[in-house]
Structure 1
Amino acid sequence: MAKRIAFNQYGGPDVLQWVDFEIADPADHEVQVENKAIGINYIDTYVRSGLYPVASLPSGLGTEAAGIVKKVGSAVTLFKPGDRVVYCQAAAGAYSELHNVAEERLAILPESLSFEQGAASFLKGLTVQYLLRQTYKVKADEIFLFHAAAGGVGLIACQWAKALGAHLIGTVGSAEKARIAKDAGAWATINYREEDIAARVSALTQGEKVAVVYDSVGKDTWEASLDSLRRHGLMVSFGNASGPVTGVDLGILNRKGSLFVTRPSLFGYITNREELDRASAELFSLIASRAIKVNVPEQQKFALRDAARAHQVLESRATQGSSLLLP
C-alpha cells in the first residue's frame, strides 16, 4: 500500500483527498518511481476542475516528479533500480508516493540537480524550451512579450531569454513580482493592474510592437496580447489561468494586422525519446551553467497530504516561481 492524492468529482481544491492505494507492479515498458519531490503545475488545477477532463473518475492527479527508480518492467532497457530520474509527461497520478511511468517519458536526473530542482523545473523548463526554441525561435536582441513573468514558467523564461541575449517584457501583478522578474532577467516589466499592456509595449518598442507574444493567462489578456503584436505577428496562447479564450471571431486577426495564432502544448513538441533527450539536455545544460537558477521558496513547499492547500495558494496568484509537494 502507498499514499496518494485522488479526486472523485470535479471542483475546487476541497475535492482532493489523501487516500491509500495499492500500486501494481510496473508493466513491461514501465518504471516504478519512488517520488522524492513532486511538481505542482497550473494545468493540474484545470484537470481537477474539469476544464481538462480525465478519462474516468476517481483519478489521481499530477504528471511531474523526481525520484528514485524502485522497480522496472521486463522490457525496460534504459533504467535500473536506484537511478535518479525525473518526468513530467506521465499518466495522471504523480501526486503520490509511488508512480508507474512509461520508460519513454523518463529522463535521468543529473547528479548536479537535487530532486527538488528537478521536480520544480522539468515541465516548466521544457515548456520554455519549446516556446522560445521551437514554436518561435527567439533571437538575440529581439524584444518580445511574456505574460505572468514571475510565475514558475515565467521566471525560467526570463532567465532563458537573458541567456539568449533577448529582451523579455514581462507582465506581473505587483511591484514585488516586477522586482523578482527583473532580477531573473526580464528586460522590462508591465504591472497589468496599473498599466495598459499594449500601450506600454508600444512605448517600450518605440511604436514597433513585438513579433511574438507568449500568453498563459488566456481570456483576460487575449485582446491586449493581439494589440501588442506588430503586423504578421504571432500570438502563442499556451494556458488559461484566467479562463479559456472562446468564441473567437477570426476576423479580428485580419483587422489587427493579418496576425497568426497558435495553441501549442508540450505533448505536441515532445513525442518521443529523441525529442525528450534533446530538449532536456538543453535545459539541464543551462541549469548546470547557472544561467537558469531553480530555487523554491520554503513557503511554497507543501507536504503531499496538503495538496488542497497548495492548490488554494497557487490559484490565489500569491506564488512566485515554482511550488512543490513533498511525500
Structure 2
Amino acid sequence: MAKRIEFAETGGPEVLRMQEFEPEALGPRDVRVTNWAIGLNFIDIYVRTGLYPVSELPSGLGTEGAGVIEAVGEEVKEFREGDRVAYATGPLGAYATHHTLPADKVVMLPDSIGFDQAAAAMLKGLTVQYLLRQVYPIKSGDTFLFHAAAGGVGLIACQWARSLGARLIGTVSTPEKAEFARKNGAWATINYSEENVVERVRELTDGEMCPVVYDSVGRDTWETSLDCLAPRGLMVSFGNASGPVEGVNLATLNKKGSLFVTRPSLAGYADTRERLEAMSQELFQVIANDSVHVNIGCRFRLDEAGEAQQNLASRHTSGSTILIP
C-alpha cells in the first residue's frame, strides 16, 4: 500500500501524519512516479503553517522528488514505465512513496545524476538558475550579495557564481558556515551574528555596493538588503524564512537610490514545458561538469518529515535535506 505524509490542519510539525492512501487515478496526460528520494524545502513549511493556503484538507505536502515512472496516461508519449525522472513544481503530494502528476511537470533524469542528487537539487538548482541566469543575468566580474549562503540554495549559488566568474558575498550565521560557503565558491562571507552587513558590503565593494541582492530571508533582512544596493540596483526577494515582508513603502525605494524590487518564483519562470526543460538541462550540465556539487547535509526517513522540517526551520542545517521513502 502506498504511504504519504499529510496534514488535516495547519500548525507545527506535529500536524504531519503518515497515512496509507490510494494514489490518484491517472489522467490521460499524467504519470505516476515511485519516489526514490524527496526534496525538503522551506516552502513546505509555509504550506504546513498556512502561510501558503491549500485548496482543501487533509492535504499532501511537497513538490519535489526523483524516482522511476510506474505508469503513464494514455496520451503520454514522451515517457514510459521504468524511465528515471525528476520533478520540482508538481502538485502537492511529493512526501509519499508514490506521486501522480502531469507529465509536463516531469523531466528525464540523466544516468549520471543520482536520485538523491536530483531530489536535493531540482527545486534549489532551478531556483538558482532563474535567479542568476534570468532575473538578473550575472556576468563575469559582478559582485553581489546572497543571503543564507550556506543553505541548500545558497551553496548552489556560490558554486554557480564562481563558474560564471562572479564574486558572491554570502551572509551566514556562524564561522563554520562561513568556511563552508567559501569552500563552495563564495568570494567573501559576512557573519551577520557578529558583523554589520551593510558596512562590510561597503568595505568589500570599495563603497560601490551591489547591483543586485538576492534575499530569501524576508522580514528580518529587508531593510539591510535595500541598504546594500547601488543606485538603481535590483532587490530580489524570493523567500520568507523569517516571515513575509509587509508594509512596503514605495517611496523608500526612491529615497535609497531609485531601486527596483521583484518577487519572483520558480513557477513564474518554469511556466512552460519548454522553459522547464531548458532550465533543467542547464542545471544538469553544471552538475555533470562538476561546476556544481550537490551538498546533502541531512537525510531523514519519510516518517520523520516533521523532525526534518523542524531541523530545517532551526537554520542549523547546511546544504540540502532529503527524505527517503
Q: What is the TM-score when the length of structure 1 is the normalising length?
A: 0.99
Kindly provide the amino acid, as one letter, of the partner of residue 216 in structure 1. S
Question: For residue 231 of structure 1, what is the aligned residue in structure 2?
Answer: 231
Match for residue 319 of structure 1 among 312, 317, 324: 317
Shift of 1:295: 3.0
CA contact (8 A) 1:236 1:263 kept: yes
**Residue 163, structure 1, aligned to residue 174, structure 2:** no
Question: For residue 177 of structure 1, what is the aligned residue in structure 2?
Answer: 177
Aligned equivalents of 1:26, 1:190: Cα separation in 2: 49
Aligned equivalents of 1:286, 1:225: Cα separation in 2: 28
CA contact (8 A) 2:152 2:295 kept: no
Kindly provide the amino acid, as one letter, of the partner of residue 14 in structure 1. E
CA RMSD of aligned residues (A): 0.6
Question: For residue 153 of structure 2, what is the aligned residue in structure 1?
Answer: 153
**Residue 302, structure 1, aligned to residue 316, structure 2:** no
Kindly provide the amino acid, as one letter, of the partner of residue 7 in structure 1. F
Question: For residue 199 of structure 1, what is the aligned residue in structure 2?
Answer: 199
Shift of 1:221: 0.3
Kindly provide the amino acid, as one letter, of the partner of residue 78 in structure 1. E
Greater CA drift, 69-78 or 18-27 = 18-27
**Residue 59, structure 1, aligned to residue 59, structure 2:** yes
Q: Secondary structure at the match of 2:32?
A: strand
CA contact (8 A) 2:159 2:291 kept: yes
Q: Secondary structure at the match of 1:294?
A: coil
Aligned equivalents of 2:275, 2:259: Cα separation in 1: 29
Q: Secondary structure at the match of 1:312?
A: helix
Shift of 1:114: 0.5
How many percent of aligned residue pairs carry the same amino acid?
58
Kindly provide the amino acid, as one letter, of the partner of residue 130 in structure 1. Y
Question: For residue 87 of structure 2, what is the aligned residue in structure 1?
Answer: 87
Question: For residue 278 of structure 2, what is the aligned residue in structure 1?
Answer: 278
CA contact (8 A) 1:130 1:269 kept: yes
Task: Summarize deviations over 1:233-289 as a string: whole Å, max 9, x none.
Answer: 000000000000001111110110010000000011011111011101111000000
Q: Secondary structure at the match of 1:211?
A: strand
Structure 2 gaps, min length 5: none
Shift of 1:24: 2.7
Kindly provide the amino acid, as one letter, of the partner of residue 124 in structure 1. K
Q: 5 Å matches for 1:1-327? A: 1-297=1-297, 300-327=298-325
Kindly provide the amino acid, as one letter, of the partner of residue 63 in structure 1. T
CA contact (8 A) 1:25 1:32 kept: no
Aligned length: 325
Aligned equivalents of 2:24, 2:17: Cα separation in 1: 20
Shift of 1:25: 2.8
Aligned equivalents of 1:310, 1:149: Cα separation in 2: 20
Aligned equivalents of 1:124, 1:217: Cα separation in 2: 15
Q: Secondary structure at the match of 2:296?
A: coil
Aligned equivalents of 1:221, 1:229: Cα separation in 2: 13
Kindly provide the amino acid, as one letter, of the partner of residue 237 in structure 1. S
Aligned equivalents of 1:36, 1:241: Cα separation in 2: 27
Aligned equivalents of 1:180, 1:247: Cα separation in 2: 35
Aligned equivalents of 1:288, 1:134: Cα separation in 2: 21
Aligned equivalents of 1:149, 1:61: Cα separation in 2: 26
Runs of 4+ in 1 over 2 A off after TM superposition: none
Kindly provide the amino acid, as one letter, of the partner of residue 271 in structure 1. D
Q: Secondary structure at the match of 1:244?
A: coil
CA contact (8 A) 2:65 2:88 kept: yes
